Amino acid sequence: MISKKDFIKINDYLWEIPKSFRQNMRVPARIYASEKMLEEIFRDESIPQLVNGTTLPGIMKHGIAMPDMHEGYSVPIGFVGAIRTSDGIISPGACGFDINCLAPDSKVLLENGCYTTIKKLERTWQEQRINFLDLEKGKLKNANLVAFLKRYNNPTIYKITTWSGQAIEATNDHPIQTKEGMKEAKLLKEGDFVLVYPFRGVEYETPTIKTILTEEKFKNVLKKLGKDNSQGHAVSQILNQLKSRKLLPLRFDSTALPIILKIMGFVFGDGMITFINQKKGILQFYAKTEDLQEIQKDIAKLGFSPSKIYSRLRHHSITTFYKNYKFSTTEHSIKNGSSALAALLVALGTPYGVKSHQSYRVPKWIFECPLWQKRLFLASFFGAELSTPSTLNKYNFYAPQFSVQKKDGLEDNVKLLLNDFKKLLRDFGVQTSHIQEVSGYIQVNEEKRRVLGSK
């Protein structure tokens, strides 16, 4: 342990730890600082790292630290040392890092659209992936954290508040993105435009270890789907595929569950599951190409292979109360031919077959999920089914709405399904209108269907 008494005072602004302090020191350690600054430096590992720097092979005369020194990797930021070329080294460890700090309560956006605070992240940072903005490409990306650092800061903390009321606390040297590029917090002035990411998400909550789907329950679903030992090794192959990908048994804290919730939400909307001759399971998704690319990534993360994106021109004719509309669109889709993945989704409560002819509900287990997991399911479903934002007069927005189409006789099931979504939305403080039954449109070559909608 190094203390102030180990220093020799050369003058009011120069201090030295002699070579005799530690056996492997090759040169003395010196630091330029006032006595008051020296006391602040003891708050991190800067001084022990300065001593480490004096042990480098080939170091000449002194290992020196500047007044702004602070903790680095193996030597402190602000370390200076001359190394002989004849017997010295090139040390990556002599490259330090800057610690531009944010306050413990600052929010960090995680991979799955949820956030936590830096203080809470200290306990879980090795298991989390965080979102960051790639300014060069203008895209949101995510990455693992390689280290978690904290330090005591001097009393000067800057609080930056925007006109919209968002605020953040940071050290004076923390870089903030502005229209003129990065600026240190201490250089910001009133009226500067700063970059703010508008999405906030919901707070992260650690999921429980409760099991959602057991192997035994999954086997029962396979039997209902017509898959049994009469098909050779089909059942054992499906089980092995899911177990090897850690998808069975499935728990609330399973790393794959967030991805599964997104896929399920989309299948409830613009996707479908079919079983050809009650054997081969097929997953299909219909969306814009950029959305399909994201679905491809999610399927791949689960360990399965998505197809390429298929495109075809479709011609439509829809009759409304006012007139007949005819138009053409280019339809984009992808598919996945894994019976294991299709059966897993069905076992979790995802509808399969022609959804307009089926009775189904939001699976009960989803209501037990933490709020951030519920959001993934809803976001995916509404991304497929919710109406596009539009205005009446460029100022006032129409209320977003979605509808569910069913054949005659399934009206009660539609109301139950819509009430499930209303219940999930209440968890987010979202108010919804009453369910309304409206007359549906007639599409060529398709039977007339009743449409029930909610706003």
Report residue 154's pLDDT band, with 50, 70 and 90 as the boundaries. Answer: low
Instruction: Give the model confidence (pLDDT) of 77-107 as tens digits.
Output: 888 999 998 888 776 666 656 667 899 999 9
- 297-300 long-range Cβ contacts below 8 angstroms, 24+ apart: 298/259, 298/262, 298/263, 299/263, 299/336, 299/341
pLDDT in tens, 211-255: 999 999 999 999 988 887 665 678 999 999 999 999 999 999 999
Q: Which residues contact 30 (CB under 8 A, 6 or more apart)?
A: 10, 14, 15, 16, 17, 62, 63, 64, 65
- CB 18 within 8 Å of CB 8: yes
Q: Where in the chain is the domain with CATH 3.10.28.10?
A: 211-381
- Topology at the third CATH level for domain 107-203: Endonuclease - Pi-scei; Chain A, domain 1 (2.170.16)
Quickly name the fold that domain 211-381 has: Endonuclease I-creI (3.10.28)
Tens digit of pLDDT for each residue in 250-262? 999 999 999 999 9
The candidate with the shortest Cα–Cα distance to 377, out of 405, 350, 412, 340, is: 350
Q: What is the torsion angle, in degrees rounded to the nearest 10, for the CA atoms of residue 38, residue 43, residue 48 and residue 49?
A: -100
Domain(s) of CATH 2.170.16.10: residues in the chain: 107-203
- How much is the pTM? 0.76
Q: Which two tokens stand for residue 46?
A: 């800067």
Q: In Å, what is the CA distance from 191 to each residue of 257, 339, 367?
A: 44, 58, 45
Look at 2 and 115; give whichever has higher pLDDT: 115
Extract the tokens encoding 283.
């997953």
Rounded-to-integer distance, Cα 174 and Cα 1, Å: 30
